[in-house]
Amino acid sequence: MNKKIRAISLMLVACMLFSVAGCKIRIHSKETTETTTTTEATTTEATTEATTTAESSAATEPSETTSSESSGFPEKGCKIEFPSGDRYLYKMYLTLDDKKNTIGGHVDATFFNDSSDDWDKLCLRDYSSLFLKPEDAGYDGGVKTNGALTEINNIQDSRTGNTIEYERDKDVSVVWLPLEKKLAPGEKMTLSYDFVAQIPTVADRYGVQDGVFCITNFYPILAEYTSEGWSHIGFYACGECFYSEIADFDVMLTVPSDMVVLSTGVETSEAKEGDTKTIGIYAECVRDFVFCGSKNFKLVEGDYKDTHVRTAYFEEEKPEYDKMEAEIALKAAIDSLEAFGSAFGEYPYKDLEVIIAPISAGGMEYPNLVIISKAFVGTGDSDESRKEIYQLSADNVVSHEVGHQWFMGIVGSNSGLQPWLDESFASFTEYIYELAVYPDKAHQLPVTFDDGYYTRNVPINKSYFDYDDNMSYISSVYWRGKQILVNMYELLGEEQFNGIIREYVHEFAFKNADQMDFFNLLYKYAGTDNEKLNDIIYENFDDTVQPPKAA
C-alpha cells in the first residue's frame, strides 16, 4: 500500500469513527483519542481481512431453507405513502434571538392517547436543559455547557382550560405534567405552553458555533408512551436517546432577515418585517422538527425525482475547497436517495437538507435534515488529495446519515434500548450505498470480528446502557452490527434480504418498531431452520430474538 493510499485509508477510519459516532463522539474526549490511536495501528490488517471476508462470503450461494418464503416483497423502489389516519400536530410560533442565543415561543401540541391505559400525567422531554451551566446543575444527566434550564410557562390543558404546574425530574430532561382530568384511551387534547430555551455556544449537534445555529431537540416534546409507561431513559452524548411519535409540524419561525435557514419540512411562506423575517414551514409525518441557520450559509442544490436536496456550507480560508466539499456531499446525498429508494422504498418527503456545520461528531440525523461535521475535512495538500478525502468522508458519513431517514425517520425505534435497530441498519446502508456507487469495490471499510474492538460477549441487540463504554458500544452497534447485516445480505442474497428489509420498512413506516418486528419477517422468509443464518444470530444476538435451537 503506498503512502497516499495509506493516508486516505487512515482518514477513512477516522471519518468512520467520528461519523458512526455521529452519532456522537467528542473529538477531544479521552476515549476518542485512545481509540483513534488503536484504530490507526490496525487499519491495514482490518481492511485486508474485511475484504477477504467479503470476497469469500460473496462467493457463497444463497442457501435454501425448507420453510422459507421467497416472494411477496414490496417491489424495489416502491412508494412509501403517508398514513391517512389522525396524527399528532405541533403548531409552533418560534423566534430565534441570535443576540441572546435563545429559541422560544408558543406551542400548541394536539395529540391523543394511543394506548389502552388512562393517562393521569404526561411526560415531556426537555433536552435543551441538559446543556445547563455546571454551577446550575443539581440535576442528573447533562453535558454541562453554558446552556440553561428551559423556561416553560402557561401550560394549559385544552379540555379544562386550567393551568398545569410542571414537576421537573431529577433527570433534568424529564418534565412531568400531572393531569387534573385523565386522558382516556382514544381521547384527544391540546397542550399549550410557552418556552424559552438557551442555545449553548458549543460545536455540538445542538448549539451555535462560528455563526452556525444547529437548533435540534430544542423544544419540550411529548415523550413516547410504551407498554412500560412513559419512556424517559437517560440522555447520553454518544448516540441517541430520542424517541417520539410521528406528527405534523405547522411552524412559523422568526429569524434575522439575513439568515439562511434550512429545516425539517417544506417552506410555505416568507414575510419580512424590519430586520426579521417569518418563515412558514409545514412538515408532514415526521418525528421531530429541527432547523439550522446562518448568515454565512451558501447553498448548492439538486434534485432526486420529487425531492429537492440542498447542501448548506460556509466558507473558510479556501472557499473553493468548501464549495467542492459541498458539491461532493450533495452528490452523495442524491446517490444515497437513489440507492436507498430502490433498496428500501422511495424517500417520501419533498426536501432533504444537508448541513455542513462545525459540530464535534461526524454527523447527526434528523427528519429531512442531516448535519455533517466540518471538523474532519480540510486536510490534504493538493486539490486532488482533498477531493479524495472529501469523497471518502461523504461516502461514509452522508450515506450513513441519509440512511437514518429510513431507520430512525420512517421506521422509528427506541434508540436507547434497541440502538442496533437504527445504528446497525444505518451502518448497513453505507454498504448499500457502496454497492450502488462503487459496485466493484463495495465494503472496503475495515469491518472485522477479530480486531479486538468488539465486545464479543455482549450481543449487539442490547441497550446503550449494557455496554462498558462508548467504544464498545460503537464497535458493536455500528461496526459489528454493519458486518452482521452484510453477512446476512451475502448469505440470503440481495433479492431476499433487501426484500425483507423493504417489507419491514413498508409495514412499520411511520410507526415505532421493535426488534422482533424485524426478526419475525426474517424468519418468515428465511425460515428458522437456515443453519448458517442461525449461526450468525446465535453468535451475535441474545436469546430474546434467537430461533429455537435444533435438538
Instruction: Rank residues 204 and 423 by Cβ distance to Zn ion and give the closer one.
Output: 423
Of 469-508, binders to Zn ion (CB under 5 A) are none
Residues shown for the chain: 551
Judged by CB under 5 A, which stretch of 16-24, 48-56, 126-134, 250-258 contacts Zn ion? 16-24
Give the three-state DSSP class for 48: helix
* Shortest spacing between CB 163 and Zn ion, in angstroms: 40
State which residue has the least CB distance to Zn ion.
23
Instruction: Rank residues 307 and 427 by Cβ distance to Zn ion and give the closer one.
Output: 427
- Kindly list the distances between the CA atom of residue 510 and the CA atoms of 85, 199, 218, in Å, as whole numbers in the listed order: 11, 29, 22
By rule CB under 5 A, what string of x and - marks binding of each residue 323-362 to Zn ion? ----------------------------------------
* Shortest spacing between CB 405 and Zn ion, in angstroms: 11
* Shortest spacing between CB 427 and Zn ion, in angstroms: 7
Return d(Cα 518, Cα 377) in angstroms, integer: 36
* Shortest spacing between CB 479 and Zn ion, in angstroms: 12
Spatial CB neighbours of 123, under 8 Å, sequence gap ≥ 6: 174, 175, 176, 177, 222, 223, 225, 230, 231, 232
Which is it for the CA torsion 135, 375, 473, 6, positive or negative?
negative
Instruction: Rank residues 326 and 426 by Cβ distance to Zn ion and give the closer one.
Output: 426
Residue type, 321: Y
Report CA Rg, the chain.
23
* Shortest spacing between CB 400 and Zn ion, in angstroms: 6
Judged by CB under 5 A, which stretch of 15-23, 252-260, 344-352, 512-520 contacts Zn ion? 15-23
Of 118-147, binders to Zn ion (CB under 5 A) are none
Applying CB under 5 A, does 16 fall inside the site for Zn ion?
no
Q: In 140-236, where do the E strands start and end? A: 151-157, 167-168, 174-183, 188-198, 207-209, 212-215, 221-222, 225-226, 229-230
Instruction: Rank residues 423 and 490 by Cβ distance to Zn ion and give the closer one.
Output: 423
Instruction: Rank residues 354 and 426 by Cβ distance to Zn ion and give the closer one.
Output: 426
CA nearest to 123, candidates 109, 142, 133, 137: 109
Instruction: Rank residues 23 and 197 by Cβ distance to Zn ion and give the closer one.
Output: 23
Which is it for the CA torsion 373, 37, 16, 469, positive or negative?
negative
Strands of 119-125's sheet, edge to edge? Answer: 167-168, 174-183, 119-125, 221-222
Of 68-127, binders to Zn ion (CB under 5 A) are none
Instruction: Rank residues 152 and 370 by Cβ distance to Zn ion and give the closer one.
Output: 370
Instruction: Rank residues 415 and 528 by Cβ distance to Zn ion and give the closer one.
Output: 415
* Shortest spacing between CB 515 and Zn ion, in angstroms: 17
Instruction: Rank residues 23 and 442 by Cβ distance to Zn ion and give the closer one.
Output: 23
The four Cα atoms 459, 465, 466, 469 give a dihedral, to 10 degrees, of 90
Q: Are 221 and 249 spatial neighbours (Cβ–Cβ below 8 Å)?
A: no
* Shortest spacing between CB 525 and Zn ion, in angstroms: 26
Judged by CB under 5 A, which stretch of 18-26, 381-389, 467-475, 510-518 contacts Zn ion? 18-26
* Shortest spacing between CB 463 and Zn ion, in angstroms: 16
What's the half-sphere exposure (Cβ side, CA atoms, 13 Å) at 496? 25
The total of other beta-carbon atoms located within 10 Å of residue 207's CB is 25
Of 387-446, binders to Zn ion (CB under 5 A) are 423, 426
Spatial CB neighbours of 253, under 8 Å, sequence gap ≥ 6: 92, 94, 95, 96, 261, 263, 278, 279, 281, 291
Residue type, 80: I
Instruction: Rank residues 23 and 175 by Cβ distance to Zn ion and give the closer one.
Output: 23
- Kindly list the distances between the CA atom of residue 405 and the CA atoms of 23, 215, 510, in Å, as whole numbers in the listed order: 14, 18, 11
C-alpha cell read off for 75: 417491489
* Shortest spacing between CB 437 and Zn ion, in angstroms: 19
Q: Which of 13, 14, 17, 23 binds Zn ion (CB under 5 A)?
A: 23
Judged by CB under 5 A, which stretch of 20-28, 187-195, 302-310, 437-445 contacts Zn ion? 20-28
* Shortest spacing between CB 520 and Zn ion, in angstroms: 24
* Shortest spacing between CB 18 and Zn ion, in angstroms: 11
* Shortest spacing between CB 238 and Zn ion, in angstroms: 11
Return d(Cα 219, Cα 214) in angstroms, integer: 13
Q: What angle do CA 295, 296, 298 make, to 5 degrees?
A: 115
- Kindly list the distances between the CA atom of residue 221 and the CA atoms of 184, 284, 354, in Å, as whole numbers in the listed order: 20, 16, 24
Residue type, 212: V
Instruction: Rank residues 141 and 363 by Cβ distance to Zn ion and give the closer one.
Output: 363
Judged by CB under 5 A, which stretch of 21-29, 344-352, 431-439, 485-493 contacts Zn ion? 21-29
Instruction: Rank residues 263 and 415 by Cβ distance to Zn ion and give the closer one.
Output: 415
Return d(Cα 313, Cα 296) in angstroms, integer: 8
* Shortest spacing between CB 240 and Zn ion, in angstroms: 8
Instruction: Rank residues 16 and 426 by Cβ distance to Zn ion and give the closer one.
Output: 426
Distance of alpha carbon 452 from its chain centroid, rounded? 27
Tell me the site size for Zn ion, rule CB under 5 A.
3
* Shortest spacing between CB 69 and Zn ion, in angstroms: 31
Instruction: Rank residues 122 and 292 by Cβ distance to Zn ion and give the closer one.
Output: 292
Q: Site residues (CB under 5 A) for Zn ion?
A: 23, 423, 426
